[in-house]
Amino acid sequence: MNVAEWILVVLLSVTLLIFLVTAIVLIIKLIFLADEAKKIVQTGQGIAAKADDIIDNVKGMTSVGGIVKTFANRVMENQERRYAAEDAARAAAAEEAEAAAAQAEKDARAAVRAGAKVKAAASKVKTAASSAAKAAKK
């Protein structure tokens, strides 16, 4: 080969090397750019979803159906609170009634015991009185 061919081969080799290095750098940059684009797309989708939620909320608050729904929900919550308070009061009253009934039962048992003791004492008094009467007759 002569010198001219060698010069052409070297020039073509250097040019190919430059294109390969440039292509590799561009491919790496494109990969990073694709990752950034993916992040931007995800952020945009999140913003769009939030915007849809905001639109639905505003639509719900401004439409007649939304206002009625909100009013009905509040009325139901108030009724549930009121019923819960009434149930708690009923439960407390039932507990108090049970406690009073238990106390009354204890008092009744004590009265029965006291009545039995009084009867026993009365029979002893009668026995003593009859013994005294017999002793007095003799």
pLDDT of 21 higher than 70: yes
Element (H, E) at 47: helix 3-62
Token code pair at residue 38: 């993916």
* All residues at 6 or more sequence positions from 66 whose CB lies less than 8 Å from its CB, including other chains: 59, 60
In terms of residue numbers, what domain contains 75? 52-92
Considering the domain boundaries, does residue 70 fall inside one?
A: yes
Cα end-to-end span (Å), the chain: 173
* All residues at 6 or more sequence positions from 70 whose CB lies less than 8 Å from its CB, including other chains: 60, 61
Considering the domain boundaries, does residue 62 fall inside one?
A: yes
Name the pLDDT band for 110 (thresholds 50, 70, 90): confident
pLDDT tens, residue by residue, 111-138: 888 887 777 777 777 787 777 777 777 6
Q: Is the pTM of this model over 0.85?
A: no
pLDDT tens, residue by residue, 42-90: 999 989 888 888 887 777 666 667 677 778 888 889 889 888 888 888 8
Considering the domain boundaries, does residue 78 fall inside one?
A: yes
Considering the domain boundaries, does residue 76 fall inside one?
A: yes
| Number of domains within the chain | 1
Mean pLDDT, residues 90-109 taken together: 87
Task: Express the helix, strand and coil content of the chain in percent, nearest 5 each.
Answer: 95, 0, 5
